[in-house]
Structure 1
Amino acid sequence: MNGRLRVGLRCDAGVSSGVGHLVRCVALAEELRARGVEVVFLGQVRGSAWARAQLDERGLPLADAPSAPGRLAALARELRLAAVVLDSYELPADTGAALRRAGLAVLAIADGDPLGQQADLYLDQNLGAERRHGQGTVQGTGGRWLAGARYALLRDCVLRCARTSRPGGVPHVLCFFGGTDSAGVAPAWARALLATGEPFRGTVISPAPFEAGGPITVIPPTDRLPELMAGADLVVTAAGSAIWELLYLGVPAALTWVAANQLIGYEELVGRGVAAGLGAEPGERAVAALAELLADPAAREEHGRRGSGLIDGRGRSRAADALLALL
């Protein structure tokens, strides 16, 4: 064990829980490591080879993490961590408090409600979070909010990407729902696209293969996702962590939601006209909205125009600045 600063990132990923928490923690880990900080992931990755590859291919170590707060604090001390980032809805509410009592700085990543976690810093990257949380401290903890899209956490592979300029023609649609499609909705949204009757070329990403038919190709989760997003005329997805990547790239998006925590982002994004809203189900209203977007390039591009510029790509740098200032 050397004397370099070490930070732990507590998150899980899997078929049922999705990979969004891990993806944004990877982005923060890349920033910290670029500054000479050692990082170690604490948690479990279950049933998703793609999720595990995000760590392995970057050389990011993963240690199994106990669920009990006291045992997690003991592991953090054993690993000589200076700080722990918490990004999970499933942790016991006193996890942050146990870590702080053990002398560690804590950054809790949340989507709205921090669920009772104590922390020195709270990060909510959702659009409009700065209005909901303000810039003050959290009562009872003294923790400070890092709130709003200026703190969006983007991976290196996204920051290196740029949208591909496209001539007119048949639109290319990319459809995906996180790295695992934990809600199993990809086939239904593929059928909704086909039901529009409009010409398009489609790529659907799904960990479970299925025959979509027509102009749709189904592929497994891939590290080419940023490239595929940058080359799409429209992306159909849920209002999860990938939306910040789409906004950064300026790609038009049509959104649904597959988890309760995504609704706050969905309402803000659709309410501002930054993305088109499809609702929760791929029914008649969603099919009509998709048909309009496929038939009208100007309507699609207007969403992309409104979204571009909201994410400047420096969110993870700001978050790292704030965290390291505690140490």
Structure 2
Amino acid sequence: MGTVAIRTDASLQIGTGHVMRCLTLARALRDAGHEVLFISRLLDGNFCDYIEGQGFSVARLPHPSDAESTPDWLGLSWETDARQTEAALGSALHSIAWLIVDHYCLDARWERTLRAKVEHILAIDDLADRPHDCDLLLDQNLGRNAMDYSGLVPRDSRIMAGPRYALLRPEFAQWRERSLSRSRWPLSRILISMGGVDKDNATRAVLNVLENSPKTASAEIEVIMGQHSPWLEQVKIQASQMRRATVHVNVGNMAERMANSDLAIGAAGASSWERCCLGLPTLTIILAENQRPGAYAMDASGVQLTIGTQDQIALRLAEKLNGLDRQTMDNMSQNSRAVVDGLGVQRVAEAMHA
């Protein structure tokens, strides 16, 4: 079946979303008979050990030296990254059926350098702000269409655009029916998840609001965090001092927890599609500038209510909570479930085999 190589990173700055969605696709490709190799850089907060724990091989690219370091998410020049990626592929280089690249700092120049050495390239993007030299392009964001990449990809590239192709683990499709059948009013369980890192501790600001909100006085509060969050211990202490608040780290049953929650307060980004699949009403917080367009597109479609950026939590979260009622919750649930059906990863895997 050929080897699939995946070039992606996680870090305290990048977060974990790129790695997690690539892992979802990797599992589907492994099930289809492919050998999968990850290529990931040893940045602070990297997920290399976690990827290996999921049963995949990882070629670790070195941490950027002080001499070559750049301030962007890549950490060094794209030329150096391309050379190191080629070296990491090693003896497998000429049997690479697909090279998947999911990184905002890599574009057509990087892809062109490696194109002759692999059979096909899949670029995963969210921004439509730079050219790609790829055979297949995936952008799973709401409102995105193929014309957004006109002039940015070769004319014969195939484009998979929109949340129909959202990369969700199979567990979300499995929990979908049960989740959609339950009532979510009144609020009895609230799920908080600010991504795998939450580098600026948005969770703390959310908990501060919930502690003083009459709307959530009787609700159980469940906080989901990643082990690399720099604020994990502080949040655990804060939650222990609250009524009915618990913290869970690196959970393996996120779909089940979402399905059993009434409301999510979460970061914009990849987890938005998980919540949509399960019809989980959400108050969304923008934790990175690249999340802004997608968050407001979903807000405009009635899928969620957007709080804004982290510095707006104290004022606007309380306001949004006070405005919640059964009709608002039902509308969000109905609108979100229509956006994502949980089968996107199958569609992407099938497109790669077409």
User: 1:300–1:166: structure 2 CA closer, same or farther, 3 Å change rule?
Assistant: closer
Displacement, 1:100?
0.9
Q: Identify which of 68, 92, 102 aligns with 2:81.
A: 68
Q: Identify which of 264, 267, 289 aligns with 1:260.
A: 289
Find the aligned partners of 2:153 and 2:38 in 1 and give their Cα distance.
Answer: 29
Higher mean displacement: 230-239 or 216-225: 216-225
Q: How many residues align?
A: 318
2:199 paired residue number? 182
Q: Spell out, residue by residue over 1:206-242, the C-alpha distance to the aligned partner (whole angstroms, 9 max, x if none).
A: 3412213233223323223222111110001111100
Q: Spell out, residue by residue over 1:58-104, the C-alpha distance to the aligned partner (whole angstroms, 9 max, x if none).
A: 31221114652133234336323221110112336621111113243
1:171 paired residue number? 188
SS of equivalent to 1:43 = strand
Q: Is residue 193–residue 290 contact of structure 1 (8 Å, CA) maintained in 2?
A: no
Alignment map for 1:122-137 (pairs within 5 Å) = 122-130=137-145, 133=148
- Give the gaps of 5 or more residues in structure 1: none
Q: Does 1:309 align with 2:338?
A: yes
SS of equivalent to 2:323 = helix
Q: Does 1:291 align with 2:322?
A: yes
Find the aligned partners of 2:222 and 2:21 in 1 and give their Cα distance.
Answer: 24
Q: Does 1:202 align with 2:209?
A: no
Q: Is residue 190–residue 204 contact of structure 1 (8 Å, CA) maintained in 2?
A: no
Q: Does 1:152 align with 2:166?
A: yes
Letter in 2 for 1:13: A
2:29 paired residue number? 32
Higher mean displacement: 151-160 or 139-148: 139-148
User: 1:141–1:71: structure 2 CA closer, same or farther, 3 Å change rule?
Assistant: farther
Q: Spell out, residue by residue over 1:105-152, the C-alpha distance to the aligned partner (whole angstroms, 9 max, x if none).
A: 111111122533322221100011117627x67355753321111111
- Give the gaps of 5 or more residues in structure 2: 63-79
- Root mean square deviation, CA, Å: 2.5
User: 1:124–1:167: structure 2 CA closer, same or farther, 3 Å change rule?
Assistant: closer
Higher mean displacement: 218-227 or 234-243: 218-227
2:123 paired residue number? 108
Higher mean displacement: 219-228 or 297-306: 219-228
1:247 paired residue number? 276
Q: Is residue 96–residue 118 contact of structure 2 (8 Å, CA) maintained in 1?
A: no
Higher mean displacement: 210-219 or 27-36: 210-219
1:121 paired residue number? 136
Q: Is residue 134–residue 153 contact of structure 2 (8 Å, CA) maintained in 1?
A: no
User: 1:268–1:131: structure 2 CA closer, same or farther, 3 Å change rule?
Assistant: farther
Q: Identify which of 15, 18, 34 aligns with 1:18.
A: 15
Higher mean displacement: 251-260 or 306-315: 306-315
Question: With structure 1 as the length reference, what TM-score do the two structures score?
Answer: 0.88
Q: Does 1:224 align with 2:278?
A: no
Question: With structure 2 as the length reference, what TM-score do the two structures score?
Answer: 0.81
Q: Is residue 143–residue 162 contact of structure 2 (8 Å, CA) maintained in 1?
A: yes
Find the aligned partners of 2:184 and 2:264 in 1 and give their Cα distance.
Answer: 17
SS of equivalent to 1:13 = coil
User: 1:119–1:298: structure 2 CA closer, same or farther, 3 Å change rule?
Assistant: same
User: 1:42–1:228: structure 2 CA closer, same or farther, 3 Å change rule?
Assistant: same
User: 1:71–1:45: structure 2 CA closer, same or farther, 3 Å change rule?
Assistant: closer
Which structure shows the higher helix fraction? 2
Find the aligned partners of 2:87 and 2:49 in 1 and give their Cα distance.
Answer: 28
Q: Quote the sequence identity (%).
A: 29
